Chain A
Amino acid sequence: MQNKTESDWHFSRRKFIKGALTIGLMSQIPFAVSCVQTTELDEVLIKIGDKTYTIELKFIQDVQNIIFPEDEFGPGASQLKSDSYLIWVLKDDRIDPWDGTQIIKGFSRLNNRCKKQYKKKFIDITKAQQEELIAQISLMDWGQSWLSKLLTLIFESMFANPNYGSNPDGIGWKWLNHNAGFPQPTEQQIYPTILNTIQHNKKS
């Protein structure tokens, strides 16, 4: 049996530090969480409630590629398409607005720190400086919990079925010689589509 005391799949919302995202269906969510991308995909607009946040795509990619780089051990966040996965998560209208906001706020906090330290935006400093900043915040409570959450979402992108838009050709599975199990979900079966598929097919 799967003893849930160990909770490898059971996660905590407010316990942001070691938790993942708690996301699920919420029908009467008071906030609209939406995400609009520019055609060049260089900027991502994320709307939560009455607030709209803008994040440069390169900012997401730079951070992800430091915490999960391509290296001699295997593919990194770019190859895994973890950036589009993160955007998809933020776009999910079932996401708890609190979770989405924490992710976005982490980016602005990092940028603020960067501007103070280097008088530049994160995407404009050198790779070494970026790495230094990430190392600094990884020792702070907020930074550690934010990076941890970003890593969790990278793991999700790495092992998700490619129908989710990441892990192209199963490169994440191949890298780790991981047997992904059978059957794999069709496009109709992935989250959140499955929620509608099942409820509408089988109303009574």
Chain B
Amino acid sequence: MAKKIACVIGSGAGAGPIIYELSKAGFQVIVLEKGPWFETKDFSKDEIALTRRSVVTPNLMDEPQVLEKKDHKNQWVAKSNFDTGNDFWNGSCVGGSSNFMSGYFHRMKEMDFKLLSKYGPIEGSNVVDWPIDYNDMEPYFDKVEKIVGVSGRLVNHKYQEPRSQPKFPFPPLAENIVSEWIDKAAGELGYTMIPVPRAILSQASEKRMPCYYSNYCGSYGCSSDAKGSSRAALINIALETGNCKVTPNAKVFHLKTNGKGKVVEAHYHDIDGGNHVIKADIFVVAAQAIESSRLLLMSKNEDFPNGLANNNGQVGKNLIFSAGGIGSGYLHYKDLTDNDAKKLSIPGVFVNRGLHHFYEIPQEDGTMTKGGSVDFLFEHANPIGRSIRRKWNADGDLVYGSALKKKIYHYFNDLRRLKFEIFVDWQPNDDCFVSLDPEVKDKWGDPVARIRLGHHKHDLKVGEYIAEKCEEILEIMGAKNISSNINGSAPSNLQAGGCRFGKDPKNSVLDINCKAHEVDNLYVSDGSFMPTGGSVTYTWTIYANAFRVADAIIKRFNI
């Protein structure tokens, strides 16, 4: 029997497990990736190329997105991010943003699957339970640990997720002395700190080398393949099967259906402006949440006048991000012994400390509300970025000349900034969604995504509560200038939702296996399916779910 052909659109975290599993199972897998193909040898620690210019993301002049935010009069105002610089692209190349993530990895917990039934409704929030539970996902979280590679160390704490394996397949990464200090300070307050699992290999595995503590991780490609990018961990293996072909610089703009509820062709633009068609039996979209919704909305026809799989008007709705915020304090070397100061200043090794103590927060009436998690980390090494923030004094005035140089020298040599990042649920709501902009087009003439970025005030309350607790930890550690900032801004790199899965087609786009309710052979395997995100970073869940979807596809179409 002829091999089934699967066309996968995108090649990041949501696509990798599909590409890997289907190629291994003998499907013919065609990957259409919008961006170019960087290999491991192409990556370097070039702050200019990776963080200051559009090299791994599209130029906003070519491919803007339109963001809608409320102004001071409480009115929605739409602006192109070409004008504002508020870039929501995260990595457009083979492997997608997973090449550039930091790999802080947390599983979702049991209660994350049942927010509505466990904590009750919240006015103005479209919160729902997931149609599956933690037990359905556990084998896939486990699979990610082994195949993508997760390093870490388990400690007992009250919110530890049930696990099928007693330990991580890779031992924890090396840590800075500050991790001990955090443990001690948190211990004084009665909290157990958790060594943060990372999608980073601490030991070599197959062709991937271990982490060499390059000190430039988040935003940079990994030169040892230790980082669990979809490219290094999954696509490279899929290519070895001979069943997988990756076409870079292929931007899919239309999915054509046959009038009988099936997609038959993916249409894409190439880099030179030419258009091409790929025919396949199965289509899997994983272009990251915003762009996946955009592609479905663009794929209109007689059967789907509002966009593919959108006859119930759900595509693009209930977009979510990771809510929360950040805080920090400064550890001054002069306050420490020479030995401790020296150890604190060692670059590269990680902090890797997380706090899950406030995953639930007790309420005055004795009930619990859903809380969040925290990752402690050092400020990223990026010296240009760090210098830029020194240009301004406390009053917001520009500092320049010798005064600025003194400030920069002091900042680089006399202290280290310890940060915490707080992650809480983003309540899905009617003011957070993707649509097509009626005017702005990309360089190919396709309508760009318009993203309304409304948050729910509940998320801020939870974030503020946790920030206060984290500030106390930094205080005990002797940090100076402690501050935090919880706000409703959407972190562009942690996006999900827009095509949520569920049992009822009236309020979901995808079924339990992430197949579109309305389309027989269309799957969406990136974070779009998530009705709620858990109070953790998303990528472990995205990877795990994509492995689950791959199993469902193989079971259904197996040759």
Chain A contact residues (Cβ within 8 angstroms of B): what range?
35 or more
Can you name 14 extra interface pairs (CB under 8 A) apart from A12-B85, A155-B387? A2-B493, A3-B493, A4-B493, A9-B52, A10-B492, A13-B60, A73-B409, A74-B409, A151-B404, A152-B388, A176-B409, A189-B49, A191-B53, A202-B248
Chain A residues within 8 Å of B62, by CB: 24-27
A3 B84 Cβ-Cβ under 8 A: no
Main SS at interface, chain A = loop
Chain B nearest CB from A127 CB (Å) reads: 12
Chain A residues within 8 Å of B246, by CB: 204
B413 A73 Cβ-Cβ under 8 A: no
For the complex, what is the distance from the CA of A163 to the CA of B199, rounded to whole Å? 32
For the complex, what is the distance from the CA of A31 to the CA of B61, rounded to whole Å? 13
Chain A residues within 8 Å of B38, by CB: 198
A94 B392 Cβ-Cβ under 8 A: no
Chain B contact residues (Cβ within 8 angstroms of A): what range?
35 or more
Chain A residues within 8 Å of B84, by CB: 12-15
B208 contacts the other chain (CB 8 A): no
A14 B401 Cβ-Cβ under 8 A: no
For the complex, what is the distance from the CA of A127 to the CA of B405, rounded to whole Å? 19
One of A39-47, A103-111, A180-188 at the interface: A180-188
Find A181's partner among B101, B215, B384, B443 (CB 8 Å cutoff): B215
Main SS at interface, chain B = loop
Chain B nearest CB from A161 CB (Å) reads: 6
Chain B residues within 8 Å of A120, by CB: none
A96 contacts the other chain (CB 8 A): yes
Find B52's partner among A12, A20, A134 (CB 8 Å cutoff): A20
What mask results when residues 47 to 83 of chain A are scored 1 for a CB within 8 Å of chain B, else 0?
0000000000000000000111101111000000000
Chain A residues within 8 Å of B163, by CB: none
Chain B nearest CB from A75 CB (Å) reads: 9
A26 B52 Cβ-Cβ under 8 A: no
For the complex, what is the distance from the CA of A151 to the CA of B388, rounded to whole Å? 8
A26 B59 Cβ-Cβ under 8 A: yes
B37 A185 Cβ-Cβ under 8 A: no
Given contacts A9-B51, A73-B409, contact A28 B443 (CB under 8 A): yes
Given contacts A5-B487, A185-B46, contact A14 B83 (CB under 8 A): yes
What mask results when residues 153 to 184 of chain A are scored 1 for a CB within 8 Å of chain B, else 0?
00110111100100000000101111111111
Which chain B residues (183-233) contact chain A, with CB distance < 8 Å?
212, 214-216, 218-220, 223
A184 B83 Cβ-Cβ under 8 A: no
Given contacts A24-B60, A164-B48, A186-B44, contact A147 B398 (CB under 8 A): yes
Chain B residues within 8 Å of A191, by CB: 46, 48-49, 53, 55
Chain A nearest CB from B303 CB (Å) reads: 31
A1 B218 Cβ-Cβ under 8 A: yes
